[in-house]
């Protein structure tokens, strides 16, 4: 299962909704599992169907505890990042909770090797169907809210580069060399971000 890269038109179109009947088919269940495996291989914390060439309102999410081991505790706290168990979101509707924003570097498996500062709602409510076709309401804050927003953007034909602070766009190598461990406020001041 190949992850398509920016420039592929499928990443720029709104994906189609899925019916409960479609979700419950053996084929769809196999697809969800294959996306889970591909997300782990990448590795990533989310993968949307358009990223694997399928124009469906489906994304899988999991922020495994093992991904947190090399992240400094202060950064986990600042990002409000906690493990998130595996689940799928299907036909999601996103609603920000409150006005508070959070801004952090964000990457994407479909923009391999790059990152940028992206402002997003700190807390969100997502109404969707789960991998069994059952209705679900998710309230999330911090990093989990960011993951949800990022994946739902994919389902609506948007990429993080549409929301990023353009002056912060960087390669992953330069992110590690120049910005690793620095507070976002210092980075924005240095870059004279818009």
pLDDT tens sequence across 144-191 = 999 999 999 999 999 999 999 999 999 999 999 999 888 888 898 888
Mean pLDDT of 80-109: 97
Task: Assess whether pLDDT exceeds 70 at residue 100.
Answer: yes
Examine residue 160 and state whether it is found in any structural domain, yes or no: yes
Examine residue 146 and state whether it is found in any structural domain, yes or no: yes
The number of helix segments (H) and strand segments (E) in the chain equals 6, 8
Examine residue 132 and state whether it is found in any structural domain, yes or no: yes
Residue 188 is predicted with a pLDDT of: 87
Examine residue 116 and state whether it is found in any structural domain, yes or no: yes
Examine residue 153 and state whether it is found in any structural domain, yes or no: yes
pTM metric for this prediction? 0.94
Examine residue 3 and state whether it is found in any structural domain, yes or no: no
Mean pLDDT of 71-84: 90
What is the average pLDDT value for the chain, to the nearest integer?
95
Task: Assess whether pLDDT exceeds 70 at residue 84.
Answer: yes
Total structural domains in the chain? 1
Residue 194 is predicted with a pLDDT of: 47
Mean pLDDT of 79-94: 96
The 10s digit of each residue's pLDDT in 24-45 is: 999 999 999 999 999 999 999 9
Structure tokens at 106: 């964000």
Residue 59 is predicted with a pLDDT of: 98
Mean pLDDT of 49-75: 93
The 10s digit of each residue's pLDDT in 101-144 is: 999 999 999 999 999 999 999 999 999 999 999 999 999 999 99
Examine residue 118 and state whether it is found in any structural domain, yes or no: yes
Q: Which of 151, 177, 186, 194 is catalytic?
A: 151
Strand partners, 136: 128
Q: What is the CATH number of the domain that holds 161?
A: 3.90.45.10
Residue 141 is predicted with a pLDDT of: 97
Task: Assess whether pLDDT exceeds 80 at residue 193.
Answer: no
Segments forming the whole domain that contains residue 170? 9-191
Dump the DSSP string for 42-99: TT-SEEEGGGGT--BSEEEEEE-GGGGTTS-HHHHHHHT---EEEEEEEEEEEEE-SS
Task: Assess whether pLDDT exceeds 90 at residue 192.
Answer: no
What is the three-class DSSP state of 142? helix
154 preceded by a cis bond (ω within 30 of 0): no
21 among known catalytic residues: no
Residues 68, 74, 75: CA angle, nearest 5 degrees: 55
Examine residue 59 and state whether it is found in any structural domain, yes or no: yes
Residue 35 is predicted with a pLDDT of: 98
């Amino acid at each position: 299962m190949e992850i398509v890269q920016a420039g592929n038109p499928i990443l720029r179109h709104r994906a189609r909704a899925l019916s409960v009947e479609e979700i419950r088919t053996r084929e769809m269940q196999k697809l969800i599992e294959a996306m889970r495996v591909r997300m782990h291989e990448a590795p990533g914390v989310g993968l949307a169907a358009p990223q694997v060439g399928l124009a469906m309102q489906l994304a899988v999410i999991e922020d495994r505890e093992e991904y947190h081991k090399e992240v400094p505790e202060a950064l986990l706290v600042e990002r409000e990042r906690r493990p998130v168990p595996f689940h799928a979101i299907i036909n999601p509707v996103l609603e920000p909770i409150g006005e508070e924003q959070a801004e952090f570097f964000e990457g994407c498996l479909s923009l391999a090797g790059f990152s940028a500062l992206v402002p997003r709602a700190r807390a969100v409510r997502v109404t969707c169907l789960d991998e069994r076709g059952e209705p679900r309401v998710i309230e999330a804050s911090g990093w989990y809210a960011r993951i949800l927003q990022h994946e739902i953007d994919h389902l609506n034909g948007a990429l993080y580069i549409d929301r990023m602070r353009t002056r912060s766009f960087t390669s992953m190598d330069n992110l590690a060399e120049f910005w690793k461990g620095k507070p976002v406020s210092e980075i924005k001041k240095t870059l004279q971000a818009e």
